[in-house]
Structure 1
Amino acid sequence: MATSPIWASRPRTRGLVLDLIRAARTISRVELATATGLTGATISEVVRELMGDGLVVEAGRGASTGGKPRTLVQLNRLARYSVGVQLERNICVIVVVDLAGRPVARTSFQGVAAMPPEQALPRVAAQVDALLATAAVDRDKVLGVGLVSYGPQDRRAGVLLTPQPTDQWLRHPVAGRLAETLGLPVLLDNDAAAAAIGEYWMGAVDPGSTYGCIYMATGIGGGVVVAGEVYRGSSSNSVEIGHISIDVNGDQCPCGNIGCLENYAGPAALVRQAIATPGLAQRLALDPASADFLTEFARIAAAANAGDPAARSLVEQSARYIGCAAVTMASLFDVDRIVLAGTSFAVAGSIYQTVIQQEVDRRTFIKRAHPVRVVPSVNGSDAAAIGGAVLVLQSELTPAHSRPDDGVPPAPAGTGEAP
């Protein structure tokens, strides 16, 4: 576990300055003072402290503006690391990122969904250990692990509030057990929220913007980010876009709602629809008995991309349904951008992006005030895993982002202290 002073409680000023340095890539002390409104002396003191901890280094001098060129500072990217673990129904993705949130190592494997948590979590821990060793990352520099998965969740208790993939996972202390095995703090969060914040950390969006993320892997989720902060709601189970009703006369979803989006537009739904389409299942060699919906969906997406009329019709219909959800997101949160993230969007992104953008342009209430752009995630199919690692960096290094209505982020399991 990391033992440097940044793991302990820090002044908000320190986190604010560090976040500005991260976002700017390189910046002078004078520019930091201007951006924060703090005195030059205070900025110099904070920067000196950050440099003493090894988090910030000098990066040469900027262009002269008539006087002495200003000395620039930047993050020391190799000073700290974090790990992101995306625990999906069909796949587990693990990434290691540096202090700037840039991936330095990655692995993925299948089979976790078929295991009870007592067997699956030690396997995940072994893969994390192996990846850190392969990347030659000093564990003393690892801040923690962001474990991201589907909801609903109890973030503070570190448990899933859903019997998926099996009943054994319901209320199992996934964060605590993984922390005990790894000897590293573990922070549980929603995969869609993680994917959303990853866009902010990687500089893909304006720091002051309000944007949404629709996340699709095995299921469909959503997240909204306001000025660099994930919108949490009262229990951090907000923006579950896959469980909004798009058919008031539809079938009941296991979540309790009627006609949920996920049951019409998600990968599992498309696989069912493809199997029911005469000739399509045989043509694409779909396996009706397979529970690996990501692989089966990828075959449908590949056929759609290649111009198969039946496959493309199914994907476009899914995209129109998700376009309806995107319109709802834009109307509720007044977003200026909607990011499409996750494995399933990565394999059929161009079709989804085009159709969803058309629906948003045609139907969004706010279109007279400003456009709403639909864009792919900069983090591709690993958006959730990278976002999980970023959430650890954000919660530990930039406490200035704590929301008053969400309180201080929960202590990662295994630390015994609030960040």
Structure 2
Amino acid sequence: MATSPVRSNRPKTRGAVFDLIRAARSISRVELAASSGLTPPTISGLVRDLMIEGLVVEAGRGVSTGGKPPTLLQLNPSARYSVGVQLERNTCVIVVIDLAGHRVARTSFRGTAQMPPEHALPFLAAQVNAILDAVAVDRGKVLGVGLVSYGPQDRHAGLLLSPQPTGEWLDYPVAPRLAEILGMPVLLDNDAAAAAIGEYWLGTVDPCSAYGCIYMATGIGGGVVVAGEVYRGSSSNSVEIGHISIDVHGDECSCGNRGCLENYAGPAAVVRQALTGPGLAEQLALDPAGTDFLHDFARIAAAANAGHPQARPLIEQSARYLGCAAVTITSLFDLDLIVLAGPSFTVAGSIYQTLIQQEVDRRTFARRAHPVRVVPSVSGPDAAAIGGAVLVLQSELTAGRTRAQDGAAPGVAEVTQSI
């Protein structure tokens, strides 16, 4: 007997219908059929499946267009949860979000940069378990953990391909090891890519938009999303704007390139510049021997906001450099939106937003064809952690799979391949 095309592709179709409900927040079966191009009986069957699994619920009646008012459908936020872990050099953030992307819990603590991975990962696992216990989330409803960090990475194997912060982390299987300790799936991804897709899931961008994200924590990264999908490139190490060269004769970077943007505009660069300014380090209580660049950078940013005559030019120069990077990715990908995300935009975000917007307006190649807006992330400093949790939801649910369907919790390889 021939297989029905819709039935043979049912998991993918089911995922698409789920994503339409998620994006709409509230939608009727009739509207789902019109938006998806599927027949009403197919929509009814798929919605029934989603309701049986508890993912979707009926939520009252819509406005009548002449007949019986339609029944509206919404996600059931408490049906599933995921965890996002941002692994930074100086800081770690853990969030728990529900199916709708709402943050249920958050914790942060000093980074694990000085710990070897065999000590850091059990510590991280203990923090994840503690936050889940604190909010009494049923482990059976937790789809997994999105572990996000800097690159380069081998996402599918769950490896960091960088000797940062120490050589012990190079090629260490961070995702498989953390999954083993926690007993749940762990997905490794780039922090900037995670921050970018988080904006889509939370409904703050047009679902059809092509937009970019500039992510700044200790370093600088980038991500591009087109119609709800992260641009991955050949190895998921794409849009590394912190390592585009802005000076071919510049100093060699640890990445192997010369004159990298991060070494001119990143928080560490700004702190180094501030330390050479006459009297500025003393005025702002900067630590010349310190390694917590985010802390000292926040002091400089606060002084810049207050109009400090030495601090303000440093932040403005950083913003102009980032404006150059924004022009580059906007021209390469023909973007219509740039989102600024990450903890380093928290204090002086308005300065960065204003100056990057000016550079984009003045220099973008397609500026006469369409405008490009520069906006702050809705997730603020937690954008990467929230995005990591979102990537788990997206991987599991819009791919049309759940643990109930698979019969077992997937391992790290299965999770990463389903995106």
8 Å Cα contact 1:274/1:314 also seen in 2: yes
- Other-structure match for 2:6: none
Change (3 A) 1:412 1:149: farther
Change (3 A) 1:254 1:331: same
Deviation at 1:415, TM superposition (A): 6.0
8 Å Cα contact 1:18/1:398 also seen in 2: yes
Matched, 1:23 2:17: no
Distance across 2 between alignment mates of 1:234 and 1:19: 26
8 Å Cα contact 1:80/1:143 also seen in 2: yes
One-letter amino acid of the structure 1 residue matched with residue 79 of structure 2: A
Matched, 1:146 2:183: no
Distance across 2 between alignment mates of 1:298 and 1:416: 36
- Other-structure match for 2:100: 100
Matched, 1:282 2:289: no
Matched, 1:251 2:258: no
Distance across 2 between alignment mates of 1:193 and 1:100: 19
- Other-structure match for 2:393: 393
8 Å Cα contact 2:192/2:222 also seen in 1: yes
RMSD: 1.4
One-letter amino acid of the structure 2 residue matched with residue 61 of structure 1: R
Matched, 1:122 2:137: no
Matched, 1:187 2:191: no
One-letter amino acid of the structure 1 residue matched with residue 396 of structure 2: E
Distance across 1 between alignment mates of 2:411 and 2:392: 9
Q: How does 1:132-211 map to 2 (within 5 A)?
A: 132-211=132-211
Per-residue Cα deviation, 1:52-82 (whole angstroms, up to 9, x for no partner): 0000000000011111100001000000000
SS of residue in 2 equivalent to 1:38: coil
SS of residue in 1 equivalent to 2:79: coil
- Other-structure match for 1:6: none
Change (3 A) 1:312 1:416: closer
Per-residue Cα deviation, 1:345-379 (whole angstroms, up to 9, x for no partner): 11210000000001111111110100110000010
Distance across 1 between alignment mates of 2:416 and 2:328: 39
Distance across 1 between alignment mates of 2:45 and 2:241: 45
8 Å Cα contact 1:180/1:414 also seen in 2: no
Q: What runs of 5+ residues in structure 1 fail to find an aligned partner?
A: 1-8, 402-410
Distance across 1 between alignment mates of 2:286 and 2:396: 45
Q: How does 1:8-407 map to 2 (within 5 A)?
A: 11-399=11-399
SS of residue in 2 equivalent to 1:368: coil
- Other-structure match for 1:413: 412
SS of residue in 2 equivalent to 1:162: coil
Distance across 1 between alignment mates of 2:23 and 2:200: 9
Task: Indicate the percent of aligned positions where both proteins have the same amino acid.
Answer: 77
One-letter amino acid of the structure 1 residue matched with residue 210 of structure 2: T
Distance across 2 between alignment mates of 1:221 and 1:417: 21
Distance across 2 between alignment mates of 1:388 and 1:121: 17
Deviation at 1:240, TM superposition (A): 0.1
8 Å Cα contact 1:179/1:414 also seen in 2: no
Q: What runs of 5+ residues in structure 2 fail to find an aligned partner?
A: 1-8, 402-409
One-letter amino acid of the structure 2 residue matched with residue 397 of structure 1: L
One-letter amino acid of the structure 2 residue matched with residue 413 of structure 1: V
Aligned residues: 402
Distance across 2 between alignment mates of 1:417 and 1:17: 21
Distance across 2 between alignment mates of 1:350 and 1:212: 18
Per-residue Cα deviation, 1:116-169 (whole angstroms, up to 9, x for no partner): 101111111000000000011000000000000000000011000000000000
8 Å Cα contact 1:27/1:72 also seen in 2: yes
SS of residue in 2 equivalent to 1:108: strand
Deviation at 1:111, TM superposition (A): 3.7
Deviation at 1:417, TM superposition (A): 9.6
- Other-structure match for 1:408: none
8 Å Cα contact 1:243/1:257 also seen in 2: yes
Deviation at 1:395, TM superposition (A): 0.6
8 Å Cα contact 1:148/1:388 also seen in 2: yes
Deviation at 1:102, TM superposition (A): 1.1
One-letter amino acid of the structure 2 residue matched with residue 337 of structure 1: L
Per-residue Cα deviation, 1:387-419 (whole angstroms, up to 9, x for no partner): 000000001000279xxxxxxxxx752769964
One-letter amino acid of the structure 2 residue matched with residue 95 of structure 1: V
Deviation at 1:23, TM superposition (A): 0.4
Change (3 A) 1:54 1:296: same
Q: Normalization by structure 1: what TM-score?
A: 0.94
- Other-structure match for 1:407: none
Change (3 A) 1:39 1:10: closer
SS of residue in 2 equivalent to 1:113: coil
Distance across 1 between alignment mates of 2:414 and 2:200: 26
Distance across 2 between alignment mates of 1:103 and 1:179: 22
Distance across 2 between alignment mates of 1:149 and 1:417: 15
8 Å Cα contact 2:339/2:377 also seen in 1: yes
Change (3 A) 1:111 1:364: closer
